[in-house]
Structure 1
Amino acid sequence: MSEKLKVAIVQDSPAPLAVAQGMEKVVAKTREAIEMGARVIAFGEAFLGGYPAWLDHVPAVSLWDHPGTKELHALLLAQAIRGDDPRFSQLQWAVDIAGVAVSVGGYERIRNSLYSTQFLFRPKAKVLRHRKLMLSASERLFLGSGDGSTLEVHEAPWGRVGQLASDEHWMPLARAAMHHAGETVHVAAWPTVRDIAMLASAHYAYEGRSFVLAAGTVQHKAEMIAGYEAAGGDGSARKLLDRLPEGQLQYGRSAIIAPDGVALAQAGEEAEILLAELDLGEISRGLATMDTDGQHSRPDVFELRVDRRERTGIVDVAGDDGASQAA
């Protein structure tokens, strides 16, 4: 008999721009999912800080020196996750006690740059961070692109967990690198799992012969404004946020997808915890007809080189006199 694994997607509203409050919600919802028996738990893209909906709905934010854009950027810089952030402690404790894996998206600050990062919490181990490699057109206004150093997977007793965010699922070479890692469960984080996102997630599951947790968020304009106020906004961006459409901005539609590309469970457009029990034996049975990283890969014809070095832009090189120079 093949092993069974219960997984969950927490489809809920983040606390936009207020990361501390968002982390409190992540901890509470993680505990709920653990009580339901889930061993892998996924949240949607940018849950810690909230997806920047103003990029999609207020075209003026792309104007040079826009005061509202600058204030929102400053708020996110101040709120963003940094290093071994003390705000991680309660979630890490819950993960350690229950022996589960939790993937949650958020904003990470490295020096003075912001990244959209998927944080993968693991029992009694360091948090894995995947910085988004491919940003959408509007996200490039304020986020940096990650490098290959964060393409990692978590080794669990029953298999491997990996993660990517939204448009990365349309990068054939990124998919190939992750399929090569041999994922059992893949977290596909999205703001909303729209039809095209569902297509990408199902394709990923079928191509990689892995289970996919396509995790979306639920977000409303009122929550965006409340988060702005909770984060201590000084008012410069309030007019910008007031121009957002009334009502709902992100619509969830999360799904748990089997290796044959078929949804095992699918959420609606409101907050819920979506659960499914996975039959891990489906992976090995499916490999009989599709082995993308093995017999179907044709390494005699195609070869992929993955650069996993961390890129900083500055490299110190010792000169002939032993002095350090900036290259």
Structure 2
Amino acid sequence: MSLAHPKFRAAAIQAAPVFLDLNASIDKAVALIAEAASKGADLVAFGEAWLPGYPWFIWLDSPAWGMQFIQRYHDNSLIYDSPEAERIAQAAKKHSIMVVMGHSEKQGGSLYLGQWIIGADGRTIARRRKLKPTHVERTVYGEGDGTDLTVWATPLGRVGALCCWEHLQPLSKYAMYAQDEQVHIAGWPSFSLYRGAANALGPEVNVSASRIYAVEGQCFVIAPCSVVSSEMIDTLCGDDPTKRQLLQQGGGFTSIFGPDGTLLHDPLPEREEGIVYAEIDLGLISLAKAAADPAGHYSRPDVTRLVLNRTPGSRVIFTQESQFDATLSSSPESIDQSKANDSSEDIKVQV
């Protein structure tokens, strides 16, 4: 007897947001979600920090110069459970499509590079953060924690996501492979920075990183890649020829790969906005894994193993009223005993 394997159509966005304008960018995102759904897609994915756009200003000049954009960037970053976030969730529900949104997440006074996975019913499947912002990104964003290296069971298969150069982190990738990931969202900003001067930031290296992830993990990789628009260049570079050389228009190299590394669609020109589509057949994964499964039969756990710490990175841990507080009015003997109890509990928490 042959089992039926899930099959669906995936879509990956290659487009620029309305830079530093959250509401206008959400308008554009909702229209793109509707378009993808109208073409039969069951999943649509956006690039890294698509809302409200990747902060290219951190790569173009000093931190002091870049501060002119910081307040606006904070004001236009997405807050979960806000009316703006609800618009995206409702679009997913209205069009019955899973949405993976890359965005600058604002919580309190801090920003994080977020990926929000929303089910076709409009409910949240996952909210993850980039584990370690790359290089100068650390001047803008905070860090995620071990819970962000998770693969989630969904109606479309086991889905996971990483951002940008998280795809150059071997241990993080292995943590995902080991959770039997089937569909991976690789969010990228644009490959238009320092063209001709920094090969590691260019399309050849980073598209290859997405393709290698597919081959190593024997999974489908949906890799949306945003575009730098002429409007973004005008906002960030003005008439400065040096900045215009550092950041160029285009850089869109959106790709969808099969579990053997095959590109599953015709590519779009790097300056062209649009959506790429691919047919996903999860049954092909077993064929790829028959040859090499690095987290399964092709591994040597007796030689090398990975330890994944899934402890949430909570800044504050709220506890119930301690026994010590409840016995302040008791005898000295009771107070001494309660201190001992509190100390032992603290040790257990630390362990």
With the shorter chain as reference, the TM-score category is 0.7 to 0.9
SS of the counterpart of 2:292? Answer: coil
1:210-254 Cα deviation digits (max 9, x unpaired) = 01011101112424656xxxxxxxxxxx7x655441784441111
Number of equivalenced pairs: 307
Worse-superposed segment, 31-40 or 311-320: 311-320
**How well do the aligned residues superpose, as a CA RMSD in angstroms?**
2.4
Alignment partners' CA distance in 2, 1:3 and 1:147: 31
1:96-130 Cα deviation digits (max 9, x unpaired) = 24432111111111221111111111133225211
Alignment partners' CA distance in 2, 1:161 and 1:28: 24
Alignment partners' CA distance in 2, 1:134 and 1:195: 23
Alignment partners' CA distance in 1, 2:238 and 2:163: 25
Which residue among 183, 202, 205 is the counterpart of 1:196?
205
1:157-197 Cα deviation digits (max 9, x unpaired) = 24122110001001111111111222221110111251111
User: Could you say which residue in structure 2 is the equivalent of 1:95?
Assistant: 92
User: Could you say which residue in structure 1 is the equivalent of 2:81?
Assistant: 84
Alignment partners' CA distance in 1, 2:22 and 2:149: 24
More strand by proportion, 1 or 2?
1
More helix by proportion, 1 or 2?
2
CA distance change for structure 1 residues 98 and 293 in 2, over 3 Å: closer, same or farther? farther
TM-score, normalised by the number of residues in structure 1: 0.86
CA distance change for structure 1 residues 81 and 322 in 2, over 3 Å: closer, same or farther? farther
User: Could you say which residue in structure 2 is the equivalent of 1:274?
Assistant: 276
Greater RCO, CA 8 A, separation 6+: 1
Identity %: 33
CA distance change for structure 1 residues 158 and 49 in 2, over 3 Å: closer, same or farther? closer
CA distance change for structure 1 residues 250 and 313 in 2, over 3 Å: closer, same or farther? farther
Alignment partners' CA distance in 2, 1:135 and 1:177: 18
Which residue among 197, 206, 216 is the counterpart of 1:207?
216
Worse-superposed segment, 245-254 or 297-306: 245-254
Contact between 2:12 and 2:277, CA under 8 Å: does it hold in 1?
A: yes
Contact between 1:221 and 1:245, CA under 8 Å: does it hold in 2?
A: no
Alignment partners' CA distance in 2, 1:168 and 1:97: 32
Structure 1 runs, 4 residues or longer, greater than 6 Å off:
317-320
CA distance change for structure 1 residues 316 and 289 in 2, over 3 Å: closer, same or farther? same
Bigger Rg over Cα? 2
User: Could you say which residue in structure 2 is the equivalent of 1:310?
Assistant: 312
SS of the counterpart of 1:302? Answer: coil
Alignment partners' CA distance in 2, 1:288 and 1:20: 47
TM-score, normalised by the number of residues in structure 2: 0.80
SS of the counterpart of 2:175? Answer: helix
Contact between 1:122 and 1:154, CA under 8 Å: does it hold in 2?
A: no
User: Could you say which residue in structure 2 is the equivalent of 1:11?
Assistant: 14
State the AA in 1 paired with 2:214: A
Which 5+ residue runs of structure 1 have no aligned equivalent?
227-237
User: Could you say which residue in structure 2 is the equivalent of 1:231?
Assistant: none
Matches within 5 A, 1:84-233: 84-124=81-121, 125-192=123-190, 194-223=203-232
Alignment partners' CA distance in 1, 2:155 and 2:318: 40
TM-superposed CA distance for 1:3, in Å, is 4.3
Alignment partners' CA distance in 1, 2:262 and 2:213: 11
User: Could you say which residue in structure 2 is the equivalent of 1:45?
Assistant: 48
CA distance change for structure 1 residues 89 and 305 in 2, over 3 Å: closer, same or farther? same
